[in-house]
Structure 1
């Protein structure tokens, strides 16, 4: 699992770097839109298909099929629009993932990860903090989606691509690292897993608990 976590971290770092290199080259924006669409499809599929079987899995897949079909239609008719569609959709999907776990009867997403890291034993102060942190991630991704939409409306395409394909991913990484450092200092009287262990926990447990959705 550590190898898988390291590979995930490597791909997360390389994506904005390669996207920036593509933006600076002569790659047509439509092809960058296709890459964003593929990323959009992977995220959407991963969030809709946790471990389940039979009709439950089929029921979770139809929204994915509908969204991917819509994206393919847009790419076929207006490939230039894909560079705007996917980044906004990714931000909204990620924000909704965190918000859904804050509804009554659900365990906040970050709280669940923290509990899994500690084998089911989570101190009360960390439970309160992780709930607030789940809200923080939800608001953060919502703001990224809003920023991307505003850039799509008012900024040149080069500026939009710079933010949506590179700088926004750097902001996500900065949020993740800064929060991790803050948590290690603020709650230093508790043990904390490494970043790779945290990524491994997320990869192992899935984004959405199957029993809750």
Structure 2
């Protein structure tokens, strides 16, 4: 691995850790700084803007603009409820992703989301064993997103705020990373004849698929 790539990964890891720690501190603080609120709003707001832009729907774009304006006009109220901002973002994103993965499981194995992603790497049609494996991976991701949303909600409403924040802001990226690693190792054992793509490439594939879905 080249020195520049190591530095790039190192800076990315430091930036990610700082972002997560800032989110954790903002969620449990009684009077968090405004920058913490803006950072908390950024991921969900950016996703909404991108979705509305690619939708080419004037109604959806107008609704998105109205929501952004409403947030800007109520920053003081939102800052006093920063934990709610982070909770809605965490539970909302997991709900959305769970639906995105889960809704592809209703038909045959080839329609499962991870099977579609595999078809972007390997020349279709994929064999039955590969399709079954990809469907099972889709099930795992669906169960993770649903479970994380439920746990996040239970901790937020019934547990200590600090414990919820540790789960939502600090443990969630670790859990997602662990699933990617376990899936990669399992794939190498379950599908030994394939030229396996890296974890980073798997993440890029999902991003490309999301961008295509938003444009359609």
Name the TM-score, length of structure 2 as normaliser.
Answer: 0.73
* Structure 1: gaps of 5 or more residues: 1-5
Instruction: Give the alignment's Cα RMSD to 1 decimal.
Output: 3.7
Query: How far did 1:203 drift?
Result: 3.0
Q: Which moved more, 1:86-95 or 1:104-113?
A: 104-113
Cα separation, 2, equivalents of 1:112 and 1:152: 35
Aligned residue number for residue 91 of structure 1: 94
Query: How far did 1:112 drift?
Result: 0.6
User: Which digits, 9 at most, give the CA deviation of each residue in 1:28-67, with x for residues without a partner?
Assistant: 27754432321122344556665x6xxx454664665566
Residues 187 and 193 of structure 1, relative CA distance in 2, 3 Å threshold: same
1:21 aligns with 2:21: yes
Cα separation, 1, equivalents of 2:71 and 2:103: 24
Query: What secondary structure is seen at the aligned counterpart in 2 of 1:28?
Result: coil
Q: Which has the higher contact order (CA 8 A, sep 6+)?
A: 1
Cα separation, 1, equivalents of 2:160 and 2:34: 15
Cα separation, 1, equivalents of 2:107 and 2:11: 35
Cα separation, 2, equivalents of 1:68 and 1:102: 34
Aligned residue number for residue 173 of structure 1: 177
Matches within 5 A, 1:47-196: 56-58=56-58, 61=61, 64-65=64-65, 68=68, 75-79=75-79, 80=81, 81-104=84-107, 107-196=111-200
* Structure 2: gaps of 5 or more residues: 1-5
User: Which digits, 9 at most, give the CA deviation of each residue in 1:81-126, with x for residues without a partner?
Assistant: 2132221111111111112333459922111110111133412111
Query: How far did 1:18 drift?
Result: 1.5
Contact 2:156 2:164 in 1 (8 A): yes
Name the TM-score, length of structure 1 as normaliser.
Answer: 0.74
Q: Which moved more, 1:61-70 or 1:90-99?
A: 61-70
